[in-house]
Every structure is written in structure tokens, then in C-alpha cells.
Structure 1
Amino acid sequence: MKKYPCLVKSVSRLIQEQELIVPGDRVLVAFSGGPDSTTLSDILEQLRNEFKFQLALFHLNHGLRGQEALRDQNFCIDWAKKRNIEIFVEQFDVKAYKKEQSISLEEAARKIRYQKLKEIAELWKADKIALGHHRNDQVETILMNIIRGTGIHGLRGMPFRNGKFIRPLLKTTLDEIHHYLEEQHLTYVVDSTNLDQSFLRNRIRLGLIPFLKKDFNPKIEEVIFRLGLNLQESLSTFPEEEWPVEKNGQLFRFPINRLIGISDLKKRRGLIAFIKQVKGDTYQVTRAHFKALENIIKKGKGQTMLPEKISFWVDNGYIYARRGELLLVDIPAWSYALEMPGINQLEDIGLAIESFLKTPHGHDDLKTIWCEIDLEKCKFPLVLRNFLKGDRVVINGKEKKLKTIFQLQGIPENWRRKVPILCDQEKILWIPGILLDERAQVQENSKSILIVTMRTYKR
């Protein structure tokens, strides 16, 4: 039998104990070229014959660090080439995505990284996606969750396995990783943003943990790691509740009467399971979000928002959820002529719609639902109205019935006349939260661009 270094043996045992990889698996590694992912990739390369799995790497250039990011990308390509390992490389403008989603740079990078990993995993038909998170990362994650506000699920930290995602280094310390790299004479790259204390994780690693070790407990990292491990073991004995969720297009719903007669603990577990179906995870969902959800369920009406613009609302005995904001006007037929550019406060329907011409300075501070429209393609005056029979829009060069679009979006029939629609004198331009008609879209040669925002309005 081949003699492995100590860390390789340790990771091999964890893979077997947690059943992270089985013979025949195709394993895709998230490879940044840093010490963690370099160690993970090297260890998995050594173990792939023993465990009989195939190995590939994925590197994402976030477009944030200029030449340094290009250096990392080239390092990863060369590293894979020398070992004859297949590698996938992609570039993405994370800053633009951050502005588009109105989220932090840290969160934008995390979301895109996971999204791209899933896409490449599907393309390569990967069974597992291996991440380089180690013991120190786990401690930082638990502390981050505590600072942001969390329950027992946040205190457990990251699991060894979550669907396709696996973390073979989760019991390995950063010191062990650096010792392995030195012992095996492996080179790696260093991300300079790891020292940027504008990121919460970096402040925890560089400031909070050293403070706790010095003034409170020199073994605080071990204590926190064990806390997470103990909670993972305890929670594994309580399977997550499954609710009778119905899905129609982008819309999710379940009947509120299924909540009657069950304990608050079961309701909370059920909400966690439901949120995961809609959002994919419970990242950044705090106790306050759960309280807001529980309140609208108790009242039997109302709406609330979760991180990443996930809308939840209660109507007609169901709790609904969908990605993106959805503005609804609960009166029969209506139509309002608008002053564009200008500010329009429509008190009767509870909406405020504002528009202005785009300037070279941009519009980075917009927090409401908004769109950009080619002004020269509009026939004035513009009108805000509700759905009419026979309404049509143009998508991908084809005219489609708006009724069909609503069906694909999962908008119930009795809600369709509540959705506000921006039109000119000839066509539909924009349906907030749903689509922008192709005939109104801005092109490279557009000269005048109208920025339109919409929000709920109260007198």
C-alpha cells in the first residue's frame, strides 16, 4: 500500500467516515490557487486512484484584483496542466453584479462562486463539488453567524456535506495546511484582499479571534469548533420537516391550515425547510426574518422580504414566496397618465413612480424596483395601468401573450389584474419585477435613456 503523508491519511479517514466520496464519483474542486484549495487538490489527486474517482478543477476570476487575479488564473491553469487534470476557468464581473443585486461585495462574490460551481458541475456531470474550507474557516463562520444573529443551525457552522458540496479539510487547521505545503514543496498564490478589514470575515480572523485567544481563552478556536461539531451531531438526529409545497413557475406556496395544532419548534423547522426550497439556503436569514414570517402567518395577511430579494406574503389561506419584489394593486380596473420624466405619487393605488434621464454619473444608489428604457422608442404620454385581455409583449424577438407570461411566472389568475404595467400609446414597456419588453430595451446606440423607479407609497 502506498505510504501517504499524515494529512493525506487524515483526510482519507474523514472521507470514509463521512462518506464524502464513493467509487465512480466525478469530483469537481473549487480551485483558487490559494493554500487551502492547493492542498485539497493535491491530496485528492493522490487519493483518486485509491477511491476510484475522477477529478477536475474550476477556477473563477472575479474581476476584482486586476493583474493579481490574472496571475492567480494563470497559476491555476499551469498547476492543472502539469498534473494533467482538467480545469474549467471563467471570468465574471462581480462588482456589476453587486450593484445589480444591491448586496455586499463579499456576498456577491460568494453567490456567483456557488452559482458558477453548480453550472460547471452540471456541465461536467460532477457528483461532488469539493470546497477547501478548513477548521479555522469553520470557527470564523460560526462567529460571523453569532454576530449577525443566528439560531442553532447557524451555530453548527458548515456541514461536512451539503447535497453535492463536500468539505474534506473541515477538520484540518490552517497550520496543518501550511505545514503540508512546506513539507511537499508546493507553491501557491496569496489573495491580497485577505488582509482587507472592510470584510467582516477578515476582521474576525485578524482582530476578534486574536483578542479572544489573548484575553479569554488561548484554545477558543478549539472550543468554538467543538461547539459546531456537537450541534451537527445533535441536529442530525432531527430530520427537517417537509411541508406540502406547491410550485408553479417561480411561485411557491403552501396551505396555512397545515400549521394548525403543531408546536412552535415544528413550525420553525418547517419554515427553514420551506426557505431552503425557495432560496436554496438560509444564509443571512436571521431571527428577525423568522419572526416577521411567523407574524404574517399568525395574522393571515401581510408580506415581508428576506435577503436576496425573496418575497413572502400571505393571501387567501396560503403563504406564498417568490424571488424578486412583486408590487400588487388591489382595486379593479385602473389607468393613470404619467408625467415622464417626473415624479408621480398615485395615492389611490398606493404606488410612487419616478423617472429621470440617465447621466454619466450613473445611478448606483437606487434601492427600489427600477429599469432603463430607450426614450426614443416610446410614444408619449406613458400610462400605468393594469392587465387587459389580449395584452402582448415581445421577448427574444417573438410576440407572446402576457397571460402566458403570468402563467410561467406562477402569478395566480385572480392576481393578474393587480400587477402594474407601464405602457406607452402603442405597447407594453415594463412590468415591474417580471419583465422589460424587448421593444423598450436600451441598446449600445441608444442616445436618451429614461430610468424609471417604482415603490409602494403611503400618504
Structure 2
Amino acid sequence: MKTIVKDFILKHNLFTKDATILVGVSGGPDSMALLHYLHSLKDEWNFRVVAISVDHQLRGEESLRDLRYVENVCKQWKVEFIGKSVDVPSWKKEKKQGTQVAARTLRYAIFEQQMEQLGANYLALGHHGDDQAETMLMRLTRSADSQALVGIPVKRAFAGGSIVRPFLCVTKEDIWNYCEAHNITPRLDPSNEETTYTRNYVRHHILPLLKEKNSNLHTTIQHLSETLAIDQAYITEEAENMVHSVVQFDQEKQELSFEIDQFKTYAFALQRRAYHLILNYLYIDLPKDLSYVHEEQFFALLHRQTGNAQIDFPAGLKVEKSYNQLRCHFCDDLHCSSSFHKHIKIPGKTILPDGSAIIAKYVDAFSEETKDSFCFDASQVALPLHIRTRKHGDKMHLKGLNGSKKVKDIFIDAKVPRRKRAIWPIITDDHGEILWLVGLRKASLAKRSTSTSQIQLYYEKCNM
């Protein structure tokens, strides 16, 4: 297995020498084997290896014991260790998310934070070839978009570095054999055996049947994933060139248009990818109720013989055909562009015009921050707090930046559509200092004091 993994690392240029590697370790066989393997390369590659374990608080003392197990093994192996706990049960209840989505959200927030603090080059995760097969099979049953079949990437950008997965070339059985050969006794999560989760059902009932037909299935699927990724990258690049040539963007009105006959001169594969690029431009986050049905409606509209027609997409997007021109724009309802200004109740819940809310409360200790939460001392701000839409000339002080930056430039850098900028919630203190572009950027505040009340803000998105 060592030789297979090393060849895989070299083939994909997963690491560079003298790198700092943060390794996500749960205590299970995959992550423990990965930690051991990378630690064994420490001297040869001059790695700094740091293990990080996150207790999701889903199994009480049992999950905490997993974290302590990892910590003790790291002491034996002389590996740096970071342990963190996150409150997944509370988060999933508050955000109305499933257990696995909530756990992943909080876990990756911790990973990102620690990557930045360590200046780490890589976050190494223990996904293996069977995980890849499970992922692609699950997506095959759920998605009609070929891009979804690319699977788990071997390497992708993350937190100023890269996420890498060196074990995608081996199976779960290979990893168990590695653990036995190196006297590693991993911890086991009983939830991995519960077939109520779709992934576990695929793992226990579907994958074994396919392996009966192809014992080397993990290698076949990994090769398919990599070739699909290469093909998708090429098509996307060509589609970007097509969009640049064909589509006219009106940044003031945040809309676009194109000549239908010119659009249809390109291969349909490029038309489809151009359609998805257009949606990514128009939406900040793709709506959950956007599906392949809308894609079919879009192309049916392009081929419609009547002169004028319109279809409605989620979140107020209008797609209008006027003879040979197609125009995409958002609704012009007054409520879509109206400004607001409210005081934030602490403790309390402040409802915004779009149905979203800011939840504010005093807390005894700071919790892990995400893009939808913000923690600070009351001494760092002038109370009461306000939430409002932007004003001309708004500026804010950002972490790591000398001086201030215009809010307008922050929106441009983040590629926030103009139609969203006018209604974006901005939290200020009573002196007008901008503290938080909600969900986007946080201000650099004065040094925290432990002698005053601590305030926690949460942004609750509208589920309508």
C-alpha cells in the first residue's frame, strides 16, 4: 500500500517538501492510517505534521473519548495535536440541517480556522477509493447534472492552501491491512453501520454487489472521476469563452441578454455549460429548488417559435424571450430594492424585511465562529447595535488591512450582484462603525476584554 500511495502522491503532485500538513483525524481506521503514513514521511519530506480532531458532541462521552484517543496516540507518536469540540445538535436544530450536513459545516469551519492560524499548506483527509465509489453512486441516483459525477477531488483549493486525499487510490480493506501491519487499533463509530443513512446503505448493500463484478472497482471509478474532471475543466473553459463572446452583461441592472441565433451556433454541450455559468453569475447561491426541469424549460424557450414568451425561475429570476433576444433579470418589485434600518435587540430576534433574522444574545464564552455568526465583547463596540442597508461612502476596517476599505469594493471583490448590494444587511455600532457585512466580512475590532459581557450574533436565513 505504501508504494501505491506514494506513486499516487507523485502522480498528482499532492505535496511539496518542507510543507505544513494539517491532518483531519477522527480516530477511525482511515484517518489513523493516514496520520501514521504521513508521519512516516516526515523526515524524508521534512514535513510538519499536525493532527486535528473534532468532537461533534453527537455521542456524548463516547465521541469525546475518540478525541482523547487521538490525543494519546499523537503523544506516543510525537505528533502535534489540536482538539476541538463543536455543538452539532444545537446547530442542526437552529439551522434546520441534517446531522451530516451540520457536522461537516462546523468541522470544515474549524479546519479553515486552523489552516489559517498554522499557515498550513495542506489539509489531508482520509477519503479512500471505496468512499469515491459510494459518492459517485449516490450522485448518480440524485443528480441529472454530469458535473456532479466528477466525484471527490484528489486536490482542491482551501483556506489559502489545498485539501488533498492521498488514499483515494486504495480500498477500505487496504487500510485495515495497513492498520494491522502497524499495530494501529482505531476507534469505530457505530453510526457507520446504520443503513438509515444513504451512504451507509450504498456501502453495505450496493457496493459489495458491484465489487463481485469488478474487484478493482475503486481504481476504475477513480480513473473515471479524474478523466471526467479533465473533460469538465476543458468544456468549462470553452464555455467561458463562448459566454464572453455572446452574452452582454448589464452590471448596473444586474441582468444579461444575448442573441438566440448566435447562442445556438455553438455545440449543445457548450450551450448547456454556458447556461450553468449564466446562473452562477446571476445567483449568489443557487436556489435549492433549481433543477434540471428549469434547464429543460430554458432550452425549450430558446427553440420556441413564437415571438415573445417568459418563464419564471426561483428567487424572482425572469427569463424572457423577445423574438431573437433572450433576457434574464430579477423582479423589479419595490420590496426587492427598499432600504431598512433597525435596532438590534439583545437578547432578542430582529426580523429583516426578507424574512431572515439576526439573533443576538449574551454568552458566557465565545463559540466557534462561522460566516453566519459573530462574537465579540460589549467593550469593543458602542451599544446599541444597528442593522441597516448600505449608505453612499460606507467603509469598514478589515482584519489584516491597514486603514479602511469601501463596502462597494468589498462587494465587487466578493462578486455580489448589484441587486443584492442594496439590500445586504450591515451591522454597525451606535457610532456608525461597521462591524459585520452579514455572512461576508467582519471588522477588525479593538482587543477583547474578559471583564465585560460577551455578545453572540447569529444570522438566520429565510427558509421561505
TM-score computed with the length of structure 1 as normaliser: 0.62
Cα offsets for 1:145-168 (capped at 9, x unmatched): 011124332223112111211110
Residue type of the partner of 2:292? R
* Structure 2 residue aligned with 1:304: 314
Q: Pick from 120, 126, 138: which aligns with 2:132?
A: 138
Residue type of the partner of 1:193? S
Taking structure 1 as reference, are residues 64 and 131 closer, same or farther at Cα in structure 2, changes over 3 Å only? same
Cα pair 2:235 2:270 within 8 Å, conserved:
no
Cα pair 2:19 2:47 within 8 Å, conserved:
yes
Three-state SS of the structure 1 residue aligned to 2:167 is coil
Distance 2:337 2:151 in 1: 49
Cα offsets for 1:269-324 (capped at 9, x unmatched): 3465677797799999863565578789997774426xxxxx9777996668xxxx
Residue type of the partner of 1:269? R
Distance 2:76 2:223 in 1: 39
Distance 1:284 1:38 in 2: 39
* Structure 2 residue aligned with 1:45: 39
Instruction: Please state if 1:203 is matched with 2:201.
Output: yes
Residue type of the partner of 1:107? V
* Structure 2 residue aligned with 1:174: 172
Instruction: Please state if 1:227 is matched with 2:221.
Output: no
Q: Pick from 22, 25, 49: which aligns with 2:19?
A: 25
Distance 2:148 2:419 in 1: 39
Taking structure 1 as reference, are residues 331 and 77 closer, same or farther at Cα in structure 2, changes over 3 Å only? closer
Instruction: Please state if 1:287 is matched with 2:292.
Output: yes
Deviates more, 1:110-119 or 1:403-412: 403-412
* Structure 2 residue aligned with 1:82: 76
Q: Pick from 267, 270, 285: which aligns with 1:266?
A: 270
Distance 1:234 1:157 in 2: 13
Taking structure 1 as reference, are residues 233 and 76 closer, same or farther at Cα in structure 2, changes over 3 Å only? same
Cα pair 1:134 1:173 within 8 Å, conserved:
yes
Instruction: Please state if 1:403 is matched with 2:390.
Output: yes
Distance 1:455 1:155 in 2: 28
Taking structure 1 as reference, are residues 283 and 10 closer, same or farther at Cα in structure 2, changes over 3 Å only? farther
Taking structure 1 as reference, are residues 145 and 411 closer, same or farther at Cα in structure 2, changes over 3 Å only? closer
For structure 1, list consecutive stretches of 5 or more residues without a partner in the other structure: 1-6, 246-250, 306-310, 321-325, 336-356, 359-367, 375-393, 421-432, 436-443, 445-451
Three-state SS of the structure 1 residue aligned to 2:82 is strand
* Structure 2 residue aligned with 1:352: none
Query: 1:371 offset after TM fit, Å?
Result: 4.4
Residue type of the partner of 2:137? L
Q: Pick from 2, 13, 19: which aligns with 2:7?
A: 13
Deviates more, 1:230-239 or 1:187-196: 230-239
Distance 2:313 2:254 in 1: 13
Residue type of the partner of 2:178? Y
Taking structure 1 as reference, are residues 25 and 227 closer, same or farther at Cα in structure 2, changes over 3 Å only? same
Cα pair 1:148 1:286 within 8 Å, conserved:
no
For structure 2, list consecutive stretches of 5 or more residues without a partner in the other structure: 304-308, 321-325, 341-347, 361-380, 395-406, 426-437, 441-452, 454-459
Three-state SS of the structure 2 residue aligned to 1:187 is coil
TM-score computed with the length of structure 2 as normaliser: 0.62
Taking structure 1 as reference, are residues 312 and 136 closer, same or farther at Cα in structure 2, changes over 3 Å only? farther
Distance 1:396 1:127 in 2: 40
Three-state SS of the structure 1 residue aligned to 2:184 is coil
Q: Pick from 185, 200, 219: which aligns with 1:187?
A: 185
Three-state SS of the structure 2 residue aligned to 1:403 is coil
Query: 1:182 offset after TM fit, Å?
Result: 0.4
* Structure 2 residue aligned with 1:440: none
Three-state SS of the structure 1 residue aligned to 2:106 is helix
Cα pair 2:337 2:419 within 8 Å, conserved:
no
Q: Indicate the percent of aligned positions where both proteins have the same amino acid.
A: 24
Query: 1:208 offset after TM fit, Å?
Result: 2.1
Cα pair 1:328 1:419 within 8 Å, conserved:
no
Taking the TM superposition and a 5 Å limit, the aligned residue runs for 1:369-388 are 369=355, 371=357
Residue type of the partner of 1:304? P
Query: 1:224 offset after TM fit, Å?
Result: 4.0
Distance 1:401 1:453 in 2: 16
Distance 1:50 1:106 in 2: 37
Taking structure 1 as reference, are residues 129 and 276 closer, same or farther at Cα in structure 2, changes over 3 Å only? farther
Taking structure 1 as reference, are residues 229 and 412 closer, same or farther at Cα in structure 2, changes over 3 Å only? closer
Taking structure 1 as reference, are residues 108 and 373 closer, same or farther at Cα in structure 2, changes over 3 Å only? closer
Query: 1:29 offset after TM fit, Å?
Result: 0.9
Cα pair 1:297 1:319 within 8 Å, conserved:
no
Query: 1:79 offset after TM fit, Å?
Result: 1.7
* Structure 1 residue aligned with 2:156: 162
Residue type of the partner of 2:172? L
Distance 1:225 1:411 in 2: 37
Deviates more, 1:273-282 or 1:231-240: 273-282
Three-state SS of the structure 2 residue aligned to 1:193 is helix
Taking structure 1 as reference, are residues 253 and 133 closer, same or farther at Cα in structure 2, changes over 3 Å only? farther
Distance 2:387 2:461 in 1: 25
Cα offsets for 1:390-424 (capped at 9, x unmatched): xxxx99645576433896776848995x899xxxx
Query: 1:86 offset after TM fit, Å?
Result: 1.8
- Give the alignment's Cα RMSD to 1 decimal: 4.9
Taking structure 1 as reference, are residues 264 and 237 closer, same or farther at Cα in structure 2, changes over 3 Å only? closer
Distance 1:331 1:173 in 2: 51
Cα pair 1:36 1:134 within 8 Å, conserved:
yes
Three-state SS of the structure 1 residue aligned to 2:166 is coil
Query: 1:268 offset after TM fit, Å?
Result: 3.6
